[in-house]
């Protein structure tokens, strides 16, 4: 198991969904270190539901490791910050740099619009 502090940009983790009581896959976009708090994970949610035209579908070649079991979509407008190890159950896989950059650029676009 990967320790919380060892998680990196591009890792896909199973984390606590801030919008429900169940967990979900989340893509780590940033891992800032704060002097009084330590590492926080800035993530975007991943869903298997195809309900929005602006999601980014993950293809098999988007993964650096094994793909997720079901066709999945990144929701770049749905950001969540995970504050400690209790909010992450495990690391699932990771994405290639190009796809991480695509997601980050879309997320920034939502934040700055």
pLDDT 10s digits, 67-87:
999 999 999 999 999 999 999
CA distance 104 to 5: 21
pLDDT over 90 for what percent of the chain?
73
* Average model confidence (pLDDT) across the chain: 92
Count up the domains in the chain and report the number.
1
CA of residue 50 relative to chain centroid, distance = 17
The DSSP-derived string for 22-88 is SEEEEEEEE--EETTTEE-EEEEEEES----TT-EEEPGGGBSSPPPSS-EEEEEEEEEEE-SGGGE
Q: State the CATH number of the domain containing residue 20.
A: 2.30.30.110
Range(s) of the domain holding residue 10: 4-112
Evaluate if pTM is beyond 0.85. Answer: yes
């Amino acid at each position: 198991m990967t320790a919380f502090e060892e998680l990196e940009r591009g890792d896909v983790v199973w984390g606590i969904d801030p919008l429900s009581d169940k967990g979900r896959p989340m893509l780590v976009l940033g891992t800032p270190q704060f002097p009084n708090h330590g590492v926080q994970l800035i993530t975007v949610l991943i869903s298997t539901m195809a309900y929005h035209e602006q999601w980014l579908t993950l293809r098999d070649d988007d993964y650096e490791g094994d793909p997720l079991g079901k066709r999945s979509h990144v929701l770049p407008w749905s950001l969540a910050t995970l504050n400690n190890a209790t909010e992450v159950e495990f690391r699932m896989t990771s994405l290639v740099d190009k796809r991480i950059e695509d997601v980050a650029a879309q997320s920034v676009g939502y934040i700055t619009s």
